[in-house]
Structure 1
Amino acid sequence: MNQLERILQDYFGFNAFRTGQKEIIEDVLAGNNVLGVLPTGSGKSICYQIPAIKGNDTVIVVSPLLSLMSDQVKQLKAKGFKKVIAINSFVDYTERHFLFDQLDSYKLIYLSPEMLQNNRLLDRLKRIKISLFVIDEAHCISQWGHEFRPDYLKLNPVIEALNNPPILALSATATPEVQKDIAKQLNNVPLNKHIYPMDRDNIAFTVQALQSKQEKVSYLKQLLGKFPVPTMIYFSSKKEAEFVASQLGDSLQELRVAFYHGGMEQVDRILIQQQFMENQLDVICCTSAFGMGIDKSNVRLVVHYHIPTQIESFIQEVGRAGRDGMSSVSLVLYAPFDDILPKRLIESELPTTEQIPTIINRLDSLARSDKKVDLGSPLLIEEFQINETQWRFLHYQLEKHDMIKEDQILPIYDKKAEILEAINQRIIERTYYKLNKLDEILTWVTGVTCRREQLYQAFQPDSSEAKYFCCDYCDFTFNKWEPIVEAKQLVESSWEIELANLFLLEGK
């Protein structure tokens, strides 16, 4: 057994690497820049965790998934690797700056892309030797990526400031177009590509056409009554997730059902997540906020109650099913007018072209007044009548056009018309692109050919042969499905018992 296999076994409990892992690790350890595209649930994190454990210098991991960072830090520490830390918005100001001064004592540092814009942090990172700069969810670095995070587009200057360490860019949903754009956004640095098929042969795909919300709920009650398996149901509406969770919980009292969305308190979200991971809940009615970075092996059914806005999001969410390789199903529920909600969500992601002149004029006026303006203030966003996502987009565009520099507004004088035209053009292009992406998934939902082939055709030339069932157009029906139904774990869940367990006296 060589050193890599020994680390894999000692720290992660696996006897062999999954497809692509060892090849990527060896390439990274040789000091090469690497682009790795591996299917969701294939263990991408091991590709940078093992180099961090094996090496003497520091590995930086940039990730947008805050819950993933926290989970991986906790898991690595439990396995005996203590030199790991995550710094993001979950960490309060005082602790954050304490950690900045301790960075040289860590070998693996998880950071959000936004945190890397902190000058004090960057100054501390410059003082340590960095052996690898990892960009997780690397499709976000592409302007065509399915999660538009402006701070991903600012990573290049950061990499240069850190003396250009080797780069590992990882993704599960990068089309050939996005792969090219990732390289372009990284100044066309040579990247050794390790691209593996994205489709999972143990997941069957099916779409159920229904007529209304009520029919969707009735269908789910019937289906989950027959198949009481670990299930994730995705919604685009927090309110609807709560409502359906209540309906299912009332009707199927033998099932343990909960809801999860970004509007909940962090403590509640963590509790629900842990209960699902520990098989103490059967069904989660959730928004896209749930599941990112969650590695639960026995999810048998992933349902999309609402249509996501694009295929990449759908593939990410479907990939949370059947990570143990056993027979699992992706189910999409589709009713008339189901395209209205995703179109509204797309419209809400960007400011309108009508809003831009008012915002530009107001910012220009503030710049000329010499007033100190907090560009992160909720009051400013409220005054502009836009949401945080829209402001992030606009803030980045204004930085590009030199109206914002180092979080200060600058007067634009005779450049106003030029800036207005450039930003409005970008909004039009971006909206057009997003609506086209929505059309792609709507075409897939209403398609009349093999769903597996159609779903992955933009990502790879061929799809795998199905291990159990392919799709509802080829061979799948729920009448044929015989999933593993595990015995439920009995849990006493009162807060008094939980508290007693925390303070349990020895021998009692």
Structure 2
Amino acid sequence: MRIIHLEEALYRHFNYDSFRQGQKEIISDVLHGKDVLGVLPTGSGKSICYQLPAKLVDGVTIVVSPLISLMIDQVKELKAAGFKDVIALNSFLPFIEQQRVLNNLDSYRLIYVSPEWLQKRKHQNYLKQLPVKLFVVDEAHCISQWGHEFRPDYQRLHEVIEALNHPPVLALSATATPDVQADIIQSLNKPAMKRHIYPMDRNNIAFCVKEVDNDQEKLERIAELTKSYFVPALIYFTSRQTAEETALSLSAKLPKRNVAYYHGGMEASERLRIQQQFMNNQIDIICCTSAFGMGINKPDIRLVIHYHLPLQIESYIQEVGRAGRDGESSVGVILYHKGDFRLSANMVKNELPSIEVIDQLIATILTCQSTQVDLPSPEQLHILLDINEGAARFIQRQLQKYGLIRDSEWFIDEKKWKYVREGIVQYLEERQLYKNDKLNELYRWVQTGKCLRQTLYQPFQDEFGEPTEQCCSNCGFDWNKWVPEPLFKMPEASSPLNWRIKLQKTLNMEEA
């Protein structure tokens, strides 16, 4: 299809009159078979960059997506828009249903999968039988942000691309510094990737950073804001327990608001339920960890509050970028005290295994080998070493790189251990330094006296747009001048409608 026909195709398949910034250029290169890295701001419609090609190419598009909830939402939206030949392959599919889908994969044009799903040999064998014409990595910053430790299968995507006979690759992200861009390109083993990089600053979001004395003052400030502004809000935490406790406290303080918590320790079905209720305005405040929000297409989030500091600038831009996707005025708030710096530093330290843990692993494996005791599977490393799963996955990935783990089997070579240990320790030290640098970059930003908007986006771009309304707390932000549209129309200023009353009025029936 020639470029001049793309607007017609966009309208026919998605009912959009025109492309947003960057979409047409990326799609054009994809349709010409080029490998592309696209960096577009949050809320700019990155998904169209592969959904339209999936409609136009004669073959299958594979989309690697980081979250099950994100896959489910996108599939639901596509099917509602008339794109029926789309499927998400994940653990929510019952076994019988998954087998039925796998046996009929050639009937789908767009297939969503996780990086972990892709690494199973039997799944790859199904995909090899398909005419895969485009391989997409959505939220591609996860390759760099998560792939080195938390989800190492992101670092193995190049193996899947090779197994699928090198289809064109499209990597998409909203936050990628030049270093992260280089990491993505190197990891995917696509050195000739064409880059389409666009400014990511959001001129409708104001930034407010406030130092407080303690956590109690944070809670009081959050209660004050959520009582004053009846708008959809996200409150981010690094602690699951604190997220739960704050949600309960806010529910007691704000009886007219619907508050929930969300974190990775909850059952997947419960997380999905909370997300859907938030999307439908049945819940309007969510106290969450970073597990919530990636790809959430809710346009009217107005407040994004950080109770705890994120661990890097990129994470903050991703999280605050969930506000104001409809272009309306929104605010990002960070509340911090000096003790938060120590908490963040400990979190970064615990994300990676210590050198002592590496030595413990080596000693355990060699002891088992010499005494002919069966080793546990590599997937059980966190139990064997009594460490968190993220640290265990880091070790597992390193052992895979050196060939000591292949297809979930051990291939022990005592002669290689010294060499392997040196390599892992060196890489471990490099990653620790990198993560500390990213954390210090965030510390400097929250404490700067300069414009928060410009200093936030400076690592990513050279020019900045003028804010549509107010800029930031360092440039004189005034809460009294921020007047967002309430979530629901209120019968009285002091009595906002909750979701149950809204539902009653909609259905014209009394609540049971």
TM-score with structure 1 length normalisation? 0.92
Matching residue of 2:224: 222
Q: Is 1:402 aligned to 2:397, yes or no?
A: no
Note closer, same or farther for the CA distance 1:266–1:153 as it changes in structure 2 (3 Å cut). closer
Q: 1:326 aligns with which of 309, 325, 328?
A: 328
**Does the Cα contact within 8 Å between 1:301 and 1:331 map onto a contact in 2?**
yes
Q: Is 1:386 aligned to 2:380, yes or no?
A: no
More helix by share: 2
Matching residue of 1:100: 102
Q: Is 1:375 aligned to 2:383, yes or no?
A: no
Q: Tell me how far 1:293 sits from its aligned partner.
A: 1.3
Matching residue of 2:283: 281
Matching residue of 1:505: none
Matching residue of 2:482: 481
Matching residue of 1:164: 166
**Does the Cα contact within 8 Å between 2:149 and 2:393 map onto a contact in 1?**
no
Note closer, same or farther for the CA distance 1:92–1:403 as it changes in structure 2 (3 Å cut). farther
Q: Tell me how far 1:2 sits from its aligned partner.
A: 6.9
* Partner secondary structure for residue 85 of structure 1: strand
TM-score with structure 2 length normalisation? 0.91
Letter in 2 for 1:376: E
Q: What do residues 108-149 of structure 1 show as CA deviations (whole Å, max 9, x unaligned)?
A: 011111111111111121111111111112223348979753
Q: Please, which runs of 5 or more residues in structure 1 have no aligned partner? A: 502-508
Q: How does 1:491-506 map to 2 (within 5 A)?
A: 491-492=499-500
Once residues 263 and 48 of structure 1 are traced to their aligned partners in structure 2, the CA distance between those partners, rounded to angstroms, is: 32
Q: Tell me how far 1:456 sits from its aligned partner.
A: 0.8
Matching residue of 1:34: 36
Q: What do residues 2-30 of structure 1 show as CA deviations (whole Å, max 9, x unaligned)?
A: 75434544554433222111221121112
Once residues 319 and 397 of structure 1 are traced to their aligned partners in structure 2, the CA distance between those partners, rounded to angstroms, is: 33
Q: Tell me how far 1:370 sits from its aligned partner.
A: 7.3
Once residues 206 and 185 of structure 1 are traced to their aligned partners in structure 2, the CA distance between those partners, rounded to angstroms, is: 36
Once residues 270 and 189 of structure 2 are traced to their aligned partners in structure 1, the CA distance between those partners, rounded to angstroms, is: 42
Matching residue of 2:24: 22
Matching residue of 2:240: 238
Letter in 2 for 1:413: E
Q: 1:297 aligns with which of 285, 296, 299?
A: 299
Once residues 264 and 120 of structure 2 are traced to their aligned partners in structure 1, the CA distance between those partners, rounded to angstroms, is: 25
Q: Tell me how far 1:360 sits from its aligned partner.
A: 1.8
Letter in 2 for 1:239: Q
Q: Please, which runs of 5 or more residues in structure 2 have no aligned partner? A: 490-496, 508-512
Task: Work out the percentage of aligned pairs sharing the same amino acid.
Answer: 51
* Partner secondary structure for residue 125 of structure 1: helix
Matching residue of 1:338: 340
Q: What do residues 292-344 of structure 1 show as CA deviations (whole Å, max 9, x unaligned)?
A: 11110001110001000111110000000000001100100011211122222
**Does the Cα contact within 8 Å between 2:207 and 2:453 map onto a contact in 1?**
yes
* Partner secondary structure for residue 114 of structure 1: helix
More displaced stretch, 107-116 vs 250-259? 250-259
- Equivalenced residues, count: 495
Once residues 403 and 487 of structure 2 are traced to their aligned partners in structure 1, the CA distance between those partners, rounded to angstroms, is: 58
Q: Tell me how far 1:219 sits from its aligned partner.
A: 1.0
Once residues 428 and 162 of structure 2 are traced to their aligned partners in structure 1, the CA distance between those partners, rounded to angstroms, is: 30
Once residues 77 and 395 of structure 2 are traced to their aligned partners in structure 1, the CA distance between those partners, rounded to angstroms, is: 37
Letter in 1 for 2:482: W
Note closer, same or farther for the CA distance 1:47–1:147 as it changes in structure 2 (3 Å cut). farther
Letter in 1 for 2:462: P
* Partner secondary structure for residue 356 of structure 2: coil
Matching residue of 1:411: 412
Note closer, same or farther for the CA distance 1:411–1:385 as it changes in structure 2 (3 Å cut). same
Q: Tell me how far 1:437 sits from its aligned partner.
A: 0.7
Once residues 459 and 43 of structure 2 are traced to their aligned partners in structure 1, the CA distance between those partners, rounded to angstroms, is: 20
Once residues 446 and 175 of structure 2 are traced to their aligned partners in structure 1, the CA distance between those partners, rounded to angstroms, is: 19
Letter in 1 for 2:407: E
Note closer, same or farther for the CA distance 1:126–1:421 as it changes in structure 2 (3 Å cut). same
Matching residue of 2:52: 50
Note closer, same or farther for the CA distance 1:94–1:372 as it changes in structure 2 (3 Å cut). farther
Note closer, same or farther for the CA distance 1:141–1:242 as it changes in structure 2 (3 Å cut). closer
* Partner secondary structure for residue 376 of structure 1: helix
Once residues 282 and 348 of structure 1 are traced to their aligned partners in structure 2, the CA distance between those partners, rounded to angstroms, is: 33
Q: Is 1:119 aligned to 2:140, yes or no?
A: no
**Does the Cα contact within 8 Å between 2:85 and 2:110 map onto a contact in 1?**
yes
Q: What do residues 373-414 of structure 1 show as CA deviations (whole Å, max 9, x unaligned)?
A: 43224xx52231011111111101011112112211122222
Matching residue of 1:184: 186
Letter in 2 for 1:371: D
Matching residue of 2:62: 60
* Partner secondary structure for residue 207 of structure 1: strand
Q: What do residues 237-265 of structure 1 show as CA deviations (whole Å, max 9, x unaligned)?
A: 11111111111111122222111111222
Once residues 138 and 454 of structure 2 are traced to their aligned partners in structure 1, the CA distance between those partners, rounded to angstroms, is: 27
Letter in 2 for 1:45: S
**Does the Cα contact within 8 Å between 2:376 and 2:384 map onto a contact in 1?**
no
Once residues 391 and 23 of structure 1 are traced to their aligned partners in structure 2, the CA distance between those partners, rounded to angstroms, is: 41
Q: Tell me how far 1:175 sits from its aligned partner.
A: 0.6
Q: Tell me how far 1:56 sits from its aligned partner.
A: 2.2
**Does the Cα contact within 8 Å between 1:35 and 1:193 map onto a contact in 2?**
yes
Note closer, same or farther for the CA distance 1:267–1:138 as it changes in structure 2 (3 Å cut). closer
* Partner secondary structure for residue 44 of structure 1: coil
Once residues 344 and 89 of structure 1 are traced to their aligned partners in structure 2, the CA distance between those partners, rounded to angstroms, is: 32
Matching residue of 1:504: none
* Partner secondary structure for residue 120 of structure 1: helix
Once residues 379 and 193 of structure 2 are traced to their aligned partners in structure 1, the CA distance between those partners, rounded to angstroms, is: 36
Note closer, same or farther for the CA distance 1:372–1:439 as it changes in structure 2 (3 Å cut). closer
Note closer, same or farther for the CA distance 1:269–1:140 as it changes in structure 2 (3 Å cut). closer
**Does the Cα contact within 8 Å between 1:146 and 1:313 map onto a contact in 2?**
no
Once residues 434 and 374 of structure 2 are traced to their aligned partners in structure 1, the CA distance between those partners, rounded to angstroms, is: 38
Once residues 430 and 414 of structure 1 are traced to their aligned partners in structure 2, the CA distance between those partners, rounded to angstroms, is: 26
